[in-house]
Structure 1
Amino acid sequence: MKKSKLSLLLVLSLVLSMFLAACSGGTKNEGKKTDEGKKNAGTEETTLADEQVLNVLETAEIPSMDSVMSQDVLSFTMLNATNEGLYRLDPDQKVIPGVAEGAPTYNDDKTVITIKLKQDTKWSNGDPVTAHDFVFAWQRAIDPKVAAPYGAYFMEGKIKNASEIVAGKAKLDDLGIKALDDYTVEITLVRALPYIESYLTFPLFYPQNKKFVEAEGANYAKDATHLLYNGPFKMTKWDGPTGTEWVLEKNADYVNAKDVTLEKINFNVSKDPQASANAYTAGEADITGKLAQAAILSQFEGQKDLLRYQEPSIWWLKMNEKNKALKNVNIRKAIALSVDKKALTEDVLANGSIPADFLVPKGFSFLDGKDFRDTAGTYLSTNKEEAKKLWEQGLKETGLKEVKFTYVGQDTETSKLTDAFIKDQLEKNLPGLKITVEAVPFKIRIAREDAQDYDLLMGGWGPDYADPMTYMDLWVTGGGQNHMDYGNPEFDKLIKSASEELVAKPQDRWKALQDAEKILLEDDAAIAPLYQRSVNLLINPKVQGFAHHAFGPDYSYQWIKITK
């Protein structure tokens, strides 16, 4: 999903497995992450503080609290705290029941899934959560009139008739989700998905109360008073996408409320890492946003307050091929080869992030115990001399002598430092290039990306489910997350094959995805990968049970306890 310089790492096994083990078993690195998750979950006996109130800093405002319209990790993390889908991730990254009563059942070819629902789950207005709420939300997500940014991307080619609905050849009622009765959901897939259980944890698939949503109309989800909740917390304060503070309070009507200890969470936006660190030191915050500046991190190095882990999010430059210069492959390659990624990660970020000469991250995707990266290549490694040659060649081919680009970045201090470094690298190495950097709030950056209102854009992606496809199908021609006019029929063919006939052939599917990655990066330089990020958070040692996740929402707060 789109990142607000937010996310994390967990090694995941991608083979289809028994329910509750879908995302937890199999590799030597995964055990390390599971141990850390258990430590963070705080399973040891502790003495609770009298006041169960948590103070958290975030680095951006919440763009949306509509689960159908959201497309960023912060929105999804807040939705994960206030709502519940069929399934969710526990602190050990296992898929566990949410509104679902238990594990799904499948037909013989695993294309029809039947899920029984708990009959005691409620919305915050007292209405029961039923199978009809899931049908309504899924249909709303794929409705072309609603134009949900994730709807078609997530459902086409996966949920039966989703593609036909998008094309106007089928009705919403034809979508492959039915309410067999008030508490039974039936989902029909186009074909079996090896990652179906982790896929169903994603917030796009959360239920919505039809009566409430339709009554609210255009006001739905505009602020905290125009929302319903069925999860661990209720949002009692939020002024909408421009709001810089919001409050969550325990939802007494949540089906598992007895397991939620926190009474209140206060969130405030702090875009300056030093200000965040100062607030933490002063006792004004219990958890900071992600810190990325070396000078700040050095203050806490070796202290128990500092939590560091590498996440499977990749950061890159998107290059909009609507621009004449960027339509040229040699110019794109020149840009991709010009940034010193080692200097970026070691000197500018200096937070444990590593250079990325790839798209699918290290330590995320495994097959038969082997990392996706172990048998895949590396591409677009920094080579400034080669970049200059390709630049000159590209200028000749386009007839250009000078090139001006608008570069869209974010308005956080870390982003500004990163973007200034990249601008300097490109302008110094590529004669005749002038870049104007526009630092905008996260919500605006997303809007500019969706509208293709940029030349270069600093973007990032963290996994939505436990499979390398979550990175690969972003770039299909005309795809809902492409937004840069890139297209290659051979790439599209490989992605289609990996999504269809090769699903039952894991090794061949793996090879097709690796071949597609090579086309995207080495052949076409469609994007310029920069780094795989490391997360650094400050967490008060009195906070026990903080859970961070490998895909989907960044965090879960419902298991947190404040100790004395």
Structure 2
Amino acid sequence: MKKIISLLTVLALLFSLTACGSKEAEPAAATPADSSTASETATSEDAANILKVQVEVEVASMDPQIATDGTSFEVMGAVTEGLYSVDAAGSPILAMAESVDKSEDGMSYTFHLRDANWSNGTPVTADDFVYAWKRLVDPATASEYSFIAEIAGIKNAAAIISGDAAVDELGAVAEDDKTLVVTLDFPVSYFESLMSFNSFFPVNEAFFTEKGDLFGTSPDTILANGPFKISAYEPAATTIELVKNEDYWDADAVKLDGIEYQVIKEAQQTMLAYQNGDIDIATLAGEQVEQFQADPEFHNIVAGYLWYISPNQTVAGLENVNLRKAIALAYDKSAIAKNILKDGSIAANFAVPTLLATGPDGKDYRETADTYLETDKALALEYYNTAKAELGVDEFSYTLIVEDTEASQNVAQFIQSEIQTTLPGMTVTIETMPKKNRVERMQDGDFELGLTRWGPDYADPMTYLDMWTTGSSNNYGFWSNADYDAIIQSAKNGELALDLDARWAGLKEAEKMVMDEAVIFPVYQRGNAVMIKGNVTGIEFHSVGINRIYKNAVKN
């Protein structure tokens, strides 16, 4: 295999309605001879075939039905495999399923599982999927991702989640150890692509029951059926170690001996580790991007993550749409992308990112959708004055909670300065914390403003727009609009779902409603500036679902 990093081009069509995008990392121009490159300073002391990966935040959960963050998804995806995985182009490919029979009406799938074992020697069975999926929709589990089963159209999922049907009524049945029959409430064209998502990963019931509350907290409480298995891990650990799973059904295709994840949040420390040869993959930030973008080991990856501020509308003042619009228009998003992040990120004047989905017209969603809440400080001040008159208040003070990564703190500080300058009398205080705590605070409604992000789980605008429906666990701001809810529900399984053109138009109308009411304050769509050692090939980058897949990675 040539020593050239082969990253993804825009993801191939997953289905006739939509397509998801990944960006191929083009090799940068050769570094001038008189400049110091990262590769020149790296050491060659590490002869082991272990891929060393830097991540910015800790793993929050190794429970597939509980995890919600990208880092957890990435690590979990290296050790666990569902019915499907995805190929380098992002298209679904059979994994634990060896074959599948589909009904002509798209309402039934019969999966025939391959012979495969868990890392404790127990066979992977259809019951493992049934048990996991019932956990996903069971209200007692309180999974934030329970909605994904409804999105997938699995029979009775919505009724079970709402408490109107028993868990055993879920449309997933194990006919025998190797045969899983899934029945849908309505056809879902992207059903197979959803089956590669973490929430649908299997769980062995006997093992889960044995480990109880300790499940997923240590190597002894985590089973693997994927390319790797956990050898060192504990909650909030800054180092996570994986070794090759020799019992994996496709072990011959796995060339790495293992993966070592290192949590490094500070950019300078990250780059020093990369230059010293302590890590093989590093994410750059700020001035580092300019410093190393001419290095042949530099790559720019377009990501699907949308970063935005969520205002808690139960907090005094933030229920006022004019105040929300004032804040959303008050900070320079282009300056954040170009002058602070410098990593290929773009200003977000939308709620649905670019390169996510292709419509029935064959065009990317953003090509034919409007833009919203573009920075306009003069207009922001007009909305602000209106809000002050409506609320009878001249001064406002809010706390913005952010996670403790360098990039998040830099962005938050810039936004703080911009808002306070643009809107006299408004004070913004920044509170930093680990990502897990920030997410928990926002889930509990214990915040005023929160800088957060969302990465797409599947290649359709619904993966974003569904978040802001009434009662959604991801609707951190507690916004509610019956007309919006009706559009989203119809686009899922109602009249709009039966007409692709009408559905697309309905989704655009829904996005307009979210933006017109400033339900969120968009900031930027993430770009990743990464350094990858020249002897590493085969890493697959995806903007949807699991963002990095290492099964086919090689370290020469």
What is the TM-score when the length of structure 1 is the normalising length? 0.90
User: Pairwise mapping of residues 89-488 of structure 1 onto structure 2 (< 5 A)?
Assistant: 89-102=86-99, 104-118=100-114, 120-155=115-150, 158-240=153-235, 242-288=236-282, 290-293=283-286, 295-367=287-359, 368-488=361-481
| Residues 156 and 266 of structure 1: CA distance in aligned 2, closer, same or farther (over 3 Å) | closer
- Alpha carbon RMSD of aligned pairs, Å? 2.0
Counterpart in 2 of 1:41? none
**Is the CA contact (8 Å cut-off) linking 2:313 and 2:319 kept in structure 1?**
yes
**Secondary structure of 2:496 counterpart:** coil
Aligned-partner Cα distance in 2 for 1:386–1:129: 59
Counterpart in 2 of 1:558? 551
Look up the equivalent residue of 2:350 and give its one-letter code: F
| Residues 239 and 15 of structure 1: CA distance in aligned 2, closer, same or farther (over 3 Å) | closer
Look up the equivalent residue of 2:108 and give its one-letter code: V
Aligned-partner Cα distance in 2 for 1:145–1:398: 41
Aligned-partner Cα distance in 2 for 1:11–1:92: 5
Identity of matched residues, %: 37
**Is the CA contact (8 Å cut-off) linking 1:10 and 1:312 kept in structure 2?**
no
Aligned-partner Cα distance in 2 for 1:475–1:12: 28
Aligned-partner Cα distance in 2 for 1:458–1:251: 38
Structure 1: give runs of 5+ residues left out of the alignment: 1-7, 37-48
1:35 is displaced (CA, Å) by: 9.6
| Structure 1 residue runs of 4 or more that deviate by more than 4 Å after TM superposition | 32-36
Look up the equivalent residue of 1:76 and give its one-letter code: F
Aligned-partner Cα distance in 2 for 1:459–1:167: 27
**Is the CA contact (8 Å cut-off) linking 1:52 and 1:562 kept in structure 2?**
yes
1:184 is displaced (CA, Å) by: 1.0
| Residues 306 and 315 of structure 1: CA distance in aligned 2, closer, same or farther (over 3 Å) | same
Counterpart in 1 of 2:67? 70
> C-alpha deviations, 1:472-522, integer Å up to 9, x for none?
111111112112110111111111121122223211111000011111102
Aligned-partner Cα distance in 1 for 2:155–2:216: 28
**Secondary structure of 1:303 counterpart:** coil
**Is the CA contact (8 Å cut-off) linking 2:302 and 2:543 kept in structure 1?**
no
Matched residue count: 530
**Secondary structure of 1:127 counterpart:** coil
Structure 2: give runs of 5+ residues left out of the alignment: 1-7, 28-45
**Is the CA contact (8 Å cut-off) linking 2:329 and 2:379 kept in structure 1?**
yes
Name which of 79, 82, 91 aligns with 2:79. Answer: 82
Aligned-partner Cα distance in 1 for 2:15–2:317: 42
| Residues 395 and 12 of structure 1: CA distance in aligned 2, closer, same or farther (over 3 Å) | farther
**Is the CA contact (8 Å cut-off) linking 1:157 and 1:163 kept in structure 2?**
no
1:206 is displaced (CA, Å) by: 0.4
> C-alpha deviations, 1:369-393, integer Å up to 9, x for none?
2111121111111111111111111
1:453 is displaced (CA, Å) by: 1.2
**Is the CA contact (8 Å cut-off) linking 2:353 and 2:366 kept in structure 1?**
yes
Q: Which moved more, 1:349-358 or 1:72-81?
A: 349-358
**Is the CA contact (8 Å cut-off) linking 1:62 and 1:74 kept in structure 2?**
yes
Aligned-partner Cα distance in 2 for 1:53–1:531: 34
